[in-house]
Amino acid sequence: GNSVTQMEGPVTLSEEAFLTINCTYTATGYPSLFWYVQYPGEGLQLLLKATKADDKGSNKGFEATYRKETTSFHLEKGSVQVSDSAVYFCALSGSSGNTPLVFGKGTRLSVIA
């Protein structure tokens, strides 16, 4: 079945540091890939998505590129801020459009001033 593996946290960075959170997936066909973010005490929010190979999703300075050859969708940001502290979830949905999202376990990011 479909699955997502993302790097375990927690990740602690200083403000303005570079962020990478690794995500790899297993799926048949051509899934769509997502990053969701969960701020403390809040629900999940879509951060970015990519629906086909080589697509780059971007939002709020975050980027991720859909790499089919390495089955990866790593999240990056060039300069993190304290307000980026949250839990980040990588997820995929199957290519048929009738399968629900499958999530990774999440990576907690803490950014310190």
Partner 1 sequence: DTGVSQDPRHKITKRGQNVTFRCDPISEHNRLYWYRQTLGQGPEFLTYFQNEAQLEKSRLLSDRFSAERPKGSFSTLEIQRTEQGDSAMYLCASSPEGVSATIYFGEGSWLTVV
Chain positions 48 to 87 lying near partner 1, rule: CB under 8 A, are: 49, 51
Nearer to partner 1, 98 or 113 (CB): 98
Query: What number of residues does the chain have?
Result: 113
CB of 23 to partner 1, least distance (A): 11
**44 near partner 1, rule: CB under 8 A:** yes
Rounded Cα distance, 19 and 29, in Å: 29
CB of 3 to partner 1, least distance (A): 11
What tokens appear for 62 in the block?
A: 């975050």
Peptide bond into 40 cis (omega under 30): no
What tokens appear for 85 in the block?
A: 């502290």
The window from 15-23, 35-43, 58-66, 70-78 that contacts partner 1 (CB under 8 A) reads 35-43
